[in-house]
């Protein structure tokens, strides 16, 4: 069986994507994503190092499925969507590790500006939300960069003291 899986792994693309491990009954054991599919999937049959707890799962794998994606970000979204619908026994969190965030544009005169927010339960009509984006770090970097180019916070009516200068 290991020779068959080795042949499957050798045919996997060197692209980002999502992979599934299935057992003999066809049940999904684990679903993951990779920046380089072939390298990531092969790592389960090499030295597991600090992932020794995965050895029992690897021993049960009988089929590998993979979906190639155009980018690591697309793979993250696909993984999230698949994990939202079901949670295989070896995955830990429903929906994956990242959470969707939005870029929030508040045009109100008192405090105009951009910020990162999770989707609010009730969206005020005068505040715009752009997204969703996966992972808050990149969204915060984008907001910070936009704030340098378009410093909306300094156009507010509620400025005091030296901020008025």
Structure tokens at 2: 């290991």
Q: Where are the domains of the chain?
A: 2-85, 100-164
Specify whether the CB–CB gap between 134 and 119 falls below 8 A. no
Neighbours of 65 (CB within 10 A): 12
Residues 25-49, mean pLDDT to the nearest whole number: 92
CATH annotation of 2-85: 3.40.1440.10
The pLDDT-based confidence of 1 (bands split at 50, 70, 90) is low
Given a cut of 90, is residue 66 above it in pLDDT?
A: yes
Quote the pTM value: 0.70
Averaged pLDDT for residues 85-111: 83
């Amino acid at each position: 069986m290991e020779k068959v899986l080795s042949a499957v792994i050798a045919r996997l693309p060197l692209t980002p994507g999502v992979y599934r491990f299935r057992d003999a009954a066809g049940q999904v054991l684990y679903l993951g994503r990779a920046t380089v599919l072939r390298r990531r999937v092969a790592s389960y049959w090499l030295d597991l190092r600090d992932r020794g707890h995965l050895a029992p799962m690897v021993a049960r794998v009988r089929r590998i499925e993979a979906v190639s994606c155009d980018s690591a970000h697309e793979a993250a979204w696909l993984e999230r969507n698949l994990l939202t619908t079901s949670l295989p026994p070896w995955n830990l969190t429903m929906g994956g590790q990242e959470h969707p965030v939005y870029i929030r544009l508040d045009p109100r005169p008192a405090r105009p500006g951009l910020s990162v927010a999770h989707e609010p339960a009730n969206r005020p009509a005068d505040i715009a939300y752009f997204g969703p984006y996966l992972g808050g770090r990149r969204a915060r970097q984008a907001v910070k960069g936009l704030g340098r180019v378009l410093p909306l916070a300094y156009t507010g009516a509620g400025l005091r003291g030296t901020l008025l200068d």
